[in-house]
Structure 1
């Protein structure tokens, strides 16, 4: 493990000390440092890099255990894997193969770690041991289908997997098939079963999904068109129903824009979406309990190619992981307008993900 702070004392915010902390994922193949630990100033949102490890190649997406003691990372390679680290970024055991290619997302659900494998268009379930480390894959669920964009949708590309707010269902978002699959997880066997597949507009390229805090609506970010699809979510039946599609950039905007991630305000008033190419953050107002979304404005993301967005646990600061400019920018959130105001940035080459513990 390499460290950017060689002090023997543990400062406030150190992963083993008091204070808030963040973890940043990055592409080692593009010059990134791997998994980075950073202290968070709760007043300003500023990040200070503390440690980093490149023990696993291309840890592009991270997830934190429910007890806050273990950091999980994908290894986004052709033969994909997941790895576990303690809060000092010491690797816990060896990486575990996911049985799929290029995993891009992780989530935790009822004692299991779930990985979305973009390259192979599949979702993997790995049971967690008592010590928090992942075991061998208990299920690899393969998606089927394609889309009209022959260069991007020649086959399935699972980009995200996550449990619904109740924890009773698992949803997987597939860019290649323009659909979201709703599944149940059998915790006894560690297997997924598809209960429905929800079709979105052909060619839209759904990438990620975020739920409204009240749990009745979800917002699907479309990568191949700069839009977000507002959906109703019925927990009791596990039914996802598309309602409307809302633009993420102003009409007449020139040049390509590829949306990457969505974050919903803690109080459900706003939705923020990162746009690569346009290099912006869209600010959408949410109303009618989350049923309606309206683009209010866009602001610069503070760098180039924002691959991920995250909000701090207090809901006061927004963070953009700007992959191609190699930095993470933080913003103060105006509680009235929802407009992010740039606070500063920290260098993080090939940054791809930010999570908080």
Structure 2
């Protein structure tokens, strides 16, 4: 069983989308996968369970540009109707997992309650029998300060000793209960204690990026941050106080598996020039700076050490009009059927082409993950 975390402290880099799509593809290949929502925004839970409002903004814009007021009005009414239905569905779902989510499951350790941590009753993801969800919770962020205090290894005493190892213990006993091959963890865009902990107890890290200046800045900071977190985790695992804990903090073994680059537009079969320039810059930065830093800190996966397997694991174009179709059908873009697309003629053919491209990208992405040892 492997714990793989999608981590970047920059937001808007498709962490949640890529986590969901990779999980589905691994499950298609016969792997037992648990999606773990460790972001208090709970977007992975919403995406997996169909609780996200569909985005028809581009279709409304196109209708208005074409002067089709009737179509635009029809779409706006559809948005209002679907949002009302989603609110009801979301309310029912959150009631059903009120005591069955990552926040509630960790409560005994963080609140020093006299009961052990127990595996979470995961939720089946609709449409894929091998894919399960460990739901998130908006109040998970409340544990941030407690964890930060407990992770001061020189001052962690008493019941605080059980906090740093609690997340690792919970994920492992949950994964073991369901015979999971992979736990894919979606985290918030931050450098807080929860993310530091989850990265440190993971087996592998995938760094999602976008082709822009701020992603480049984030990568340059991560080449310093990840080695520091490895050093901290080594100290924590070997500290006398945490060794005496009920939930021991594990010896860190995380490796950076590679990057994904998402959120770019295609033009004539290639990334549009503005995006292509940033993709090239990020690739060079990975080869010249990030990869050597990860190797020096001994946190680079064997898969990405070889020349045959690039550090960039997947380049994932913007899904454009496939995104609302995906949310409406509650499945990834590459799993959409022609009927799900609901189009004909040239529009259908264009979407089929995009769907096939997405399938090829995530097929290769999943194979690289499976190849990692």
Q: Which has the higher strand share?
A: 1
TM-score with structure 2 length normalisation?
Answer: 0.26
Larger radius of gyration: 2
Higher relative contact order (Cα pairs below 8 Å, separated by 6+ residues): 2
